[in-house]
A and B are shown apart, each in its own frame.
Chain A
Amino acid sequence: METDQLIRTLAADSAYRARPVGMVLALALLAAAPVSMAIFFASLGVRPDLMSAMHNPFFDLKFAVTLALAISAIAVGLHLSRPQASLRGWAWLLLIPAGLLAGGIASEMMLPQRLPMMTRLIGSNSRVCLTAIPLISLPLLAAALIGLRHGAPTRPAVTGAIAGLLSAGLAATLYASHCTDDSPLFVATWYTIGAALVAAIGALAGSRMLRF
């Protein structure tokens, strides 16, 4: 086909309007959320002392951290779905959850504790945490990749890693309501390893799926 013919054809198709990337991403995540929730409720469920745990600020902090991770990763991911985008000026958004966590660790250090530091860090759920976060996040990761694929990311591996952080943030928000380890030290260690795992899977999948 001659290039002039192709141009004529593209102009004939100019009325077609694609949905914005943000909308496709939102729809995909909404479709995947019930799957992740089903996995969560079927295998773990919320902890029995949920109502009293909510009075513990360190329990609540877990949700602030995981939601901050999810929201900032959504913002960065949508930014990277434009072809000329780079991480510069945007990567700091991902420091918000880290900052919240650091603040939590600092305030826990200043309070008297019943358990020694290492005991709080190792906790009693680390293995569940490391399995649950990646498992719950997989449907969300697939959705995030489908959503971002609708954009034009020119850095597919980085964008895939961000999709991983996004889905890990959402998955960890669910998981946090099950986990009885509320110490920010536990969150900083095991949640981070879980999220990094999902980010690595996302980078790998993204480097294939997110090319256009």
Chain B
Amino acid sequence: MRKREDEWTGLMRSAMAGDSAAYDRLLKSVTPVLRAAARGGLARAGQPVDQSEDIVQDILLAVHLKRHTWDANAPFAPWLFAIARNKLIDSLRRRGRRIFVNIEDFAETLPGEPVTENAPASEVAAQLQSLPTRQREVLQSIAVDSASIKATAAKFSMTEGAVRVALHRALASLTAKVREQ
């Protein structure tokens, strides 16, 4: 457990220094833990666990947009679990049930195996349609077609900087729309 968390801290430091491959690895490594905690929270709230992917994506978006509040001299796991706990409580509350989540729920969970039966997450996808066209196109090009920033820029005859701005704005407004629901 400690070894895994130390590894996360190292990956996050590299990510903050501009290593996007480390960031990708970090997010992939935390996702099973978040998924297990989300399923646990849903199960205890008497909610169908197949909604866990919505919560996982909600947490990942928050981690991404709030990562500047992580102190690079501090371990990453407590910060991550605080964000995740906040998002989990928020999601469960939005689903109409008040519930308290222990921070230990995250620390103690073993990485859950990738779920096979999970329904495709709908919340984020549903909000895609309400984005401005250009933001949606850029987001879909990168997310769904796995195009690079460079390839996306060429496809829409935009500069790479403009693609980056559109992508970031799309992620920020997706998060805001999911929250406002």
Interface residues of A (CB under 8 A from B): 1-21, 81-84, 151-152, 154, 211-212
Q: CB-CB < 8 A to B86: which residues of A?
A: 83, 152, 154, 212
In whole angstroms, how far apart are the Cα atoms of A14 and B67 in the complex? 10
Does any Cβ of A come within 8 Å of B2's Cβ? no
10 CB < 8 A contacts A-B: A1-B120, A6-B124, A11-B21, A12-B20, A12-B149, A16-B168, A19-B68, A84-B78, A84-B79, A212-B62
In whole angstroms, how far apart are the Cα atoms of A76 and B148 in the complex? 42
Evaluate contact between B82 and A9: CB separation under 8 angstroms: no
- For B, the interface residue count at a CB cutoff of 8 angstroms equals 48
Does any Cβ of A come within 8 Å of B8's Cβ? no
The listed residue (A15, A18, A19, A151) touching B20 by CB distance below 8 A is A15
In whole angstroms, how far apart are the Cα atoms of A1 and B144 in the complex? 8
Q: How far is the CB of A145 from chain B (nearest CB, A)?
A: 16
Evaluate contact between A1 and B18: CB separation under 8 angstroms: no
**Number of contacts between A and B (CB, 8 Å)?**
110
Majority DSSP secondary structure for residues of A touching B: loop
* Given known A-B contacts A9-B167, A83-B79, A154-B82, A15 and B142 have beta carbons under 8 A apart: no
Q: CB-CB < 8 A to A5: which residues of B?
A: 143-144, 146
Does any Cβ of A come within 8 Å of B125's Cβ? yes
* Given known A-B contacts A14-B20, A15-B20, A84-B82, A6 and B57 have beta carbons under 8 A apart: yes
Evaluate contact between A6 and B143: CB separation under 8 angstroms: yes
Sample of 18 further A-B pairs with CB below 8 A, known A7-B60, A13-B164, A212-B62 = A1-B124, A3-B57, A5-B146, A6-B143, A10-B23, A10-B27, A10-B61, A12-B20, A13-B167, A13-B171, A15-B18, A18-B68, A19-B68, A20-B68, A83-B79, A151-B66, A154-B82, A154-B83
Which residue on A lies nearest to B78, using beta carbons? Answer: A84
Q: CB-CB < 8 A to B60: which residues of A?
A: 3, 6-7, 10
Does any Cβ of A come within 8 Å of B33's Cβ? no
* Given known A-B contacts A21-B68, A154-B86, A1 and B57 have beta carbons under 8 A apart: yes
Interface residues of B (CB under 8 A from A): 15, 18, 20-21, 23-24, 27-28, 31, 53, 56-57, 60-62, 64-71, 78-79, 81-83, 85-86, 90, 120-121, 124-125, 128, 139, 142-144, 146, 148-149, 164, 167-168, 171, 179
